Amino acid sequence: MSIQVQNLSKTYGTQKAIDAISFSAEPGKVLGFLGPNGAGKSTTMKILTCFIPQTSGTATVNGFDTVKEALQVRQQIGYLPESNALYPDLYIKEALTFIASVHKIHHPEKRIAEVIEETGLGPEQQKKIGQLSKGYKQRVGLAQAILHNPQVLILDEPTSGLDPNQLIGIRALIKELGKTKTVILSTHIMQEVEAVCDQVIIINKGKIVANETLAQLHQQHQNQSLEQIFIKLTH
Amino acid sequence: MLTILQKEITSYLSSLVAYVTIGVFLLVLGLFLWVFPDTSILDYGYADLGNMFSTIPYLFMFLIPAITMRSLAEEKKEGTFELLATRPITDWQIVLGKYFACLLLVLLALLPTLVYVYSVHQLGNPIGNLDVGAVIGSYIGLFLLGGTFVAIGIFASSITKNQIIAFTLAVFMCFFMFSGFDSLSGLLSFQNSEIQNLGINEHYGAISRGVLDTRDLVYFLSMIGLFLLFTKTVLGGRKW
């Protein structure tokens, strides 16, 4: 199990963002993380990427504790934040070179060229990030997340802002990556879950209300559509 | 740390911030030294750079906060701090990378002022009649003073998301650290307390005379260390 989360809670002031959740994720599967706005998806991801610490409980990534062994965890993880904040002043290659040197990647040029190819940034690679459209910025974020070939990918709404053609390409890429890596992705698009995910966790008001494979979930709910299941469980 | 430094320098040099602030600094300094009659070296009659070294700290008070104000405030506001903080680098590496990048820019601003040293050196009668020891001492003093102001500026930038607030706070703190304690020492109740030793001016003045005393050196280094430590603590504060 490359991600182990046990009784994880996070309290902001008096508000409980997540409440004693436990789950695990393994390589070779794409885990879909669903839930209404404010359910605690992003908070969980921020804890897993060591950006903020939990209030209680433990989370480990490839056996490394997210609080005590943060640096090792960060080396293993590729993270695309929801806000997808980038440095607008840098050229795409400059930004990727920066990330490559943070991770001390050998032969960065080769790897950067590969990643630009994979994410379809080729036609725009001469531009500054600030000049890119939203969809291309999203790809830069994704390229930064996968650049160091991490074992674990955490993608917070990776396909927001993409047009339908781009969607297909990026979903195929995520599915491909999911064959060998552990991927957790959050999304609000149910077709995307159907298309990409193997396992689904639905979280509502900080608590897990479903943790099943896609097939099991359909079975348990008399083959209702995922949208209906989602509404039933989180309403 | 070098990675951060390199990225910072790239983004300073690819935006106008560095050029404008350094340009304005050199312009204002040039005006003070050669044009404005009250402070002009030409009107003063002596081949002496004392004026330059007493003017620069006040220009630094504005120049340095202008350079440092964006360093952390912008990262926090734009959310790119999340990008940095979830990569395998420590908070110290982030803080030091930013610190040295800004310090390098300050050095870049100081470099062209060597032209003035040469000019005044030539203007002396006989040529070269210039107190070289004091000039070297003053440059070391300026470097240490710049280093301290950068540390203060980075700290101010770390406590807010708003660059204007970071700038204003940094200007105030630089000013207070520079001459605030001198002014306080004039107060009746502080007159025998030697409180002016806490201020930068006292130590900067000592080094400017060309006397490099370890006490002054220790003072500057501990000020820099202290403010960088504050900054690191503030950054760690996201782990509330």
pTM value is: 0.88
Chain B residues within 8 A of A52 when measuring between CB atoms: 238-239
Pick from B6, B11, B79: which is nearest to A81 by CB? B79
Helix (H, G, I), strand (E, B) or coil at A191: helix
* CATH label of the domain that carries residue A106: 3.40.50.300
Q: Which residues pair with A59 in a beta bridge?
A: A5
Q: In what order do the strands lie in the sheet with A182-186?
A: A77-80, A152-156, A182-186, A30-34, A199-204, A207-213
Q: Tally A–B CB contacts below 8 A.
A: 61
State the pLDDT at residue A83.
Answer: 84
Q: Which spans in chain A are helix H?
A: 41-48, 70-76, 92-102, 108-118, 134-146, 164-178, 190-196, 214-220, 226-234
Helix (H, G, I), strand (E, B) or coil at A9: strand
Interface contact flag, A51 B79, Cβ < 8 Å: no
User: What is the number of domains present in chain A?
Assistant: 1
Interface contact flag, B82 A87, Cβ < 8 Å: no
CB-based contact A227:A190 (threshold 8 Å): yes
Reading chain A (235 residues) residue by residue, the pLDDT tens digits are 688 888 888 888 888 888 888 888 888 888 888 888 888 888 888 888 888 888 888 898 888 888 888 888 888 899 998 888 888 888 888 889 989 988 888 888 888 888 888 888 888 888 888 888 888 888 889 899 988 888 899 998 888 778 888 888 888 888 888 888 899 999 888 888 888 888 888 888 888 888 888 888 888 888 788 888 888 887 7
Interface contact flag, B83 A81, Cβ < 8 Å: yes
Chain B residues within 8 A of A53 when measuring between CB atoms: 239
Give me the phi and psi of A155, to 5 degrees please: -120, 115
Confidence of residue B124 (pLDDT cuts 50, 70, 90): confident
Encode pLDDT of B144-196 as tens digits.
Answer: 999 999 999 999 999 998 999 999 999 999 999 998 888 888 777 777 777 78
Please check whether residue B88 touches A, CB under 8 A. Answer: yes
State the pLDDT at residue B99.
Answer: 93
User: What is the number of domains present in chain B?
Assistant: 1
Interface contact flag, A87 B80, Cβ < 8 Å: yes
* Smallest Cα distance from A84 to chain B, Å: 8
Which of these, B141, B144, B153, B165, lies nearest to B64 by C-alpha position?
B153
Structural domain span for residue B117: 2-236
* Residue B239 predicted with pLDDT over 60: no
* Smallest Cα distance from A184 to chain B, Å: 16
* Residue B240 predicted with pLDDT over 60: no
Structural domain span for residue A95: 3-234
- Which ipTM was obtained for this model? 0.82
Please check whether residue B161 touches A, CB under 8 A. Answer: no
List of long-range contacts for A158-167, beta carbons under 8 Å, 24+ apart: A158/A80, A158/A185, A158/A187, A159/A187, A159/A189, A159/A192, A161/A134, A161/A135, A161/A137, A162/A135, A162/A138, A163/A135, A166/A120, A166/A135, A166/A139, A167/A192
Q: How many residues does chain A have?
A: 235
